[in-house]
Amino acid sequence: MNLAESLRVALRALGANKLRSALTMLGIVIGVAAVIALMAAGQGVQVFVTEQFQGIGSNLLFVLPNVGQNTRFGGGTSIRSLTMGDVRALSDPLRLPDVARVAPQIDRNGTVSAGGRQTLTTIQGVTPEFVAVRKWRPAIGEFITAQDIEGRSRVVVLGKTVAETLFPDNPAPLGETVRINNVPFRVIGVMEEKGGTFTDQDDTVFVPLTTAQSRLFSARAPNGEYRVSYILVEAVSEDRMDAAAEQIRTVLRERHRIAFEDEDDFIVLSQADLIQTFGNITGVLTVFLGAIAGISLLVGGIGIMNIMLVSVTERTREIGLRKAVGARRRDILVQFLMEAVTLAVSGGLIGIGIGFLGAQVISALVEGFRSVVTPQAVLLATAVSAGVGLASGLYPAWRASRLNPIEALRYE
């Protein structure tokens, strides 16, 4: 028999037991649908993480304390912090010609209250350079100015979520007073909505960096300078980011008196580094989710093998008759393999459709998130379902092809 004839015979045999064939395919359908939906969700997470980091700003470098490196101060041991002295050093255009802007920040959690309402949120001490570096501006009012920094003013710019929580009936609460850790501040602006799926970027407030360091938090380093949590550095262009990072390392190693053979007590990361790191993590997560879903494909393959063995037993006399009229072992082998592959591929195609719908449902349920069904995932699911059908049908087909025609004809 040729393949077309084998397919016709396979379809006729499967059609004779429609319910059994449908239930057998169900395992493959569920497995393929799970693989497609979960891998689409994993790919969606990768895309989301990339978009979130790209939305922070462009040409950004992140300078962070290296918590793994300790430095001695006065005979003791302490984690070396970044300070305002570091910020001033990194702002020198002569030594760092590839640095466009420097924006230090200090981040802490705290309570913000107004009019009997309060919320626990993130308090960020920032400088005027923040809006240019982060590409995030006030929708209402103004942002912190150089005069606010110099005067350590008690002014605050609210994130949209905080503004809606504290002032639900006032869309423009300019001039209102809020208390941050029981210290009164005057509202001068409300930031435009930034959004976020896993973390709400709008659930924050911004105060002058100097005010945060001197009035809200204990931010003195052992050397007497004010600490910062991290420093955002904007390079002059994307192709000069590596040069800017090297200039930052040179200046900070000199300031921190780090010997040639010693490791840095700070970390310089680019957006590409962060995207790659999180991409590796989400890539492992995607493979893990796909592997879990693949277990159901294995179960579906076992179901196909079981049904094909039953089919061989039920059709023993038919096999004997076919061999008696001239069918070769190869013909019997191909016939039963074709039935198994048809079950698996049909279930796989249905599963691809259901998996695509499942991915859309996930996107609809999670605001701001979209699952990504890639051609690679579809091809993988199709290939795996065909492979499962071939592997699960191989032994039953081989067993059918080895039957003795005389004994098969005598089988009751």
pTM recorded for the entire structure: 0.65
Domain definitions of the chain by residue range: 3-52+282-410, 67-264
**For residue range 327-349, what is the model confidence (pLDDT) as tens digits?**
777 777 777 777 788 888 888 88
pLDDT at residue 72 tops 50: no
CA distance 106 to 90: 17
Greater pLDDT, 29 or 322: 29
pLDDT at residue 320 tops 80: no
pLDDT at residue 75 tops 50: no
CA distance 187 to 252: 36
pLDDT at residue 71 tops 50: no
**For residue range 23-47, what is the model confidence (pLDDT) as tens digits?**
888 888 888 888 888 888 888 877 7
CA distance 66 to 45: 27
**For residue range 202-260, what is the model confidence (pLDDT) as tens digits?**
999 999 999 999 889 887 777 788 999 999 999 998 888 889 999 999 999 998 888 88
CA distance 121 to 162: 8
Query: Are 204 and 125 within 8 A, CB to CB?
Result: no
**For residue range 9-22, what is the model confidence (pLDDT) as tens digits?**
777 777 777 887 88
**For residue range 364-412, what is the model confidence (pLDDT) as tens digits?**
887 767 888 878 778 877 787 778 777 777 777 777 777 666 665 555 5
